[in-house]
Amino acid sequence: MLMAHAGRVTASSTVRTPQGERSRAMRHRLMEATVESLVELGWSGTTTTVVSQRAGVSRGAQLHHFPSKLDLVVAAVEFLSERRRDDLTADLAEQPEQGRTRAVLDVLADHFTSPVFFAALELWVAARTDDELRAAVGPLERRIGRETHAHALQLLGVDESRGRNRQLVQATLDMLRGLGLAASLSDDRARRDSILDAWALSLDHDLEK
Amino acid sequence: MLMAHAGRVTASSTVRTPQGERSRAMRHRLMEATVESLVELGWSGTTTTVVSQRAGVSRGAQLHHFPSKLDLVVAAVEFLSERRRDDLTADLAEQPEQGRTRAVLDVLADHFTSPVFFAALELWVAARTDDELRAAVGPLERRIGRETHAHALQLLGVDESRGRNRQLVQATLDMLRGLGLAASLSDDRARRDSILDAWALSLDHDLEK
């Protein structure tokens, strides 16, 4: 469906050349392969060689788009975070008004247990002991953090200037990050669901609408 | 002071031999050096050679006590988690009854931003993509998790069978883990304090005493 749509755009567009399309598709394959590699092999197992092989892209083309592993991993986490957020927004349009807080927690928890979260976690932890990586990941993490915060406020339908709303939404995101870290070692969905049930009641009581 | 005390114990004891004391001290130095190495150099930078050098222990003695990197890191995180918990218990005896919830959150947050937490984080994330490490870290993590949970209930003075207490304490620990992860990249103490202020109010309202 998406491919068919992309095909139509290409056919009808005089601005976007087939060359540009191919280049863009190649970048996307490289970014997807990078996140897959981070998820499956971790930070130290992810190399530019592994990524170009997985993406089916020549080493030359890969180096042209992303000269280093650092360029590749930062671009990949950024790109897939953005695409993931677009998905979240689409998901939310379908959430009911009743039980909305609990539904929003589920949507956000899906994000914090997604492949792109585990890929970001690899960068995050590696950056703690790698100055060059930290210089690149720090600003990216702060930006994604701000955007996720704004997004959560919107999903919950609350104004952050009221009461303790800002802190409670931050606490919720930190809790979801902690739950995501726990999910990285074992499937603890039942525990997570039970915690989110309890927390939704607290949020409904404490958030000022 | 601690050394002087240890000296008196050795001098007056007929059971604990100087040989046993030396061996125990060597193990402790190895475990401390392992955690320091994980904190400073991360999982991939930590090797048995680095650790024996830092601990001032011969390679032979190190291999005698801990035959592999896996043995060393698991023992180190376990040992220092236990010692850390003893410290927390001592800290808590000094907390006031008024504002106790907020004080407990501070004590727990100190744990989740301590060197041993960052060392455990290295193991945790490396274990996600390393089957052998996961087999060792999984049970350790669950045990530390259960003990920390029991400890938090005790510090907060609540019975987990009442109301949503169990889930709210779990949510608190997951939030603190998320805050610890955030603290690994940058010093965000002001943000953390503000979140814990808000969270303490919610807990005081929602926990059933």
Q: Please say if the pLDDT value at position B2 is more than 90.
A: no
Summarize pLDDT for A110-119 with one digit per residue, the tens. Answer: 999 999 999 9
Contact check, Cβ <8 Å, A130/B42: yes
Q: For residue range B33-44, list pLDDT tens digits in order.
A: 999 999 999 999
* A41/A122 Cα distance (integer angstroms): 10
Among A158-167, B90-99, B102-111, B175-184, the least confident range: B90-99
Distance between CA atoms of residues A173 and B177, nearest Å: 11
Q: Do B42 and A201 touch (CB under 8 A)?
A: no
Cβ neighbours for A25, distance < 8 A, ≥ 6 positions apart: none
State whether A124 and B184 contact (CB < 8 Å).
yes
Identity of the amino acid at B112 = F
pLDDT tens per residue, range A176-196: 999 999 999 888 999 999 999
**By the CB < 8 Å criterion, does A78 face chain B?**
no
Write the DSSP symbol of residue B16. Answer: S
For chain A, how far is it from start to end, CA to CA, in angstroms?
A: 39
d(CA A128, nearest CA chain B) in Å = 6
Chain A contact for B173 (CB, 8 A cutoff) = yes
Q: Which residues of A touch B122 (CB under 8 A)?
A: 125
Return d(Cα B55, Cα B156) in angstroms, integer. Answer: 38
Q: Which amino acid is it at A188?
A: D
What b/e readout covers B154-193, taking b as 16+ CB neighbours within 10 angstroms? ebbebebeeebbbbbbbbbbbbbbbbbbbbbbeeeeebbe
DSSP-assigned letter for residue A158: -
User: How far, in Å, CA of A178 to CA of A186, rounded?
Assistant: 13
Q: What distances in angstroms separate CA B128 from CA A19, A155, B134, B145, one per listed residue?
A: 39, 31, 6, 17
Question: Which range, A59-63, B59-63, B171-175, is most confident?
Answer: B171-175
Residue B175 makes CB contacts below 8 A (sequence gap 6+) with A171, A174, A175, A178, B195, B199
Residues from chain A contacting residue B168 (CB–CB below 8 Å): 198-199, 202
Q: What is the CATH number of the domain that holds B151?
A: 1.10.357.10
What are all long-range contacts of A145-149, with beta carbons under 8 Å and residues at least 24 apart? Answer: A145/A173, A147/A85, A148/A85, A148/A111, A148/A173, A149/A173
B140 contact residues in A (CB cutoff 8 A):
none
List, in sequence order, the alpha helices (H) in chain A: 2-12, 18-45, 48-55, 59-65, 69-92, 100-111, 115-128, 131-156, 165-183, 189-206
The set of residues, in sequence order, having a beta carbon less than 8 Å from that of B70 and lying 6+ positions away, is B132, B133, B136
CB A133 within 8 A of CB A127: yes
Please give the tally of structural domains in chain B: 1
Q: Which of B137, B201, B207, B205 is nearest to B169 (CA)?
A: B207
Tell me how far apart the terminal alpha carbons of chain B are, to the nearest angstrom. Answer: 41
Residues of A in contact with B174 (CB under 8 A): 175, 178-179, 182, 195
**Dist CA B19 CA B24 (whole Å):** 9
Q: Which residue of A has its CA nearest to B205?
A: A202
Whether residue B186 is predicted with pLDDT greater than 90 in this model: the reply is no
List all residues 6 or more positions away from A131 whose beta carbon is below 8 Å from its beta carbon. none
Interchain proximity B134–A185, CB inside 8 Å: yes
User: Contact A171/B124, CB-based, under 8 Å?
Assistant: no
Segment A102-124 mean pLDDT:
94
Report residue B138 as tokens.
Answer: 């999984």
Minimum-distance CB partner of B194 among A167, A175, A181: A167
A169 touches chain B (CB under 8 A): no
Q: Do B194 and A128 touch (CB under 8 A)?
A: no
Do A185 and B129 count as a contact with CB atoms less than 8 A apart?
A: no
- Residue partners of A173: CB distance under 8 A and separation at least 6: A108, A145, A148, A149, A152, B178
Q: Write down the mean pLDDT value for chain B.
A: 88
pLDDT of residue A15: 56
Q: Say whether A184 and B41 touch across the interface (CB within 8 A).
A: no
Give me the helix-helix angle, B131-156 and B69-92, nearest 10°: 10
Residue B197: its chain A contacts at CB < 8 A?
167
Residue B132 structural domain: 2-206
Residue B10 has pLDDT above 50, yes or no: no
pLDDT tens digits, one per residue of A60-101: 999 999 999 999 999 999 998 888 777 777 766 776 778 899
Higher pLDDT, B11 or B198: B198
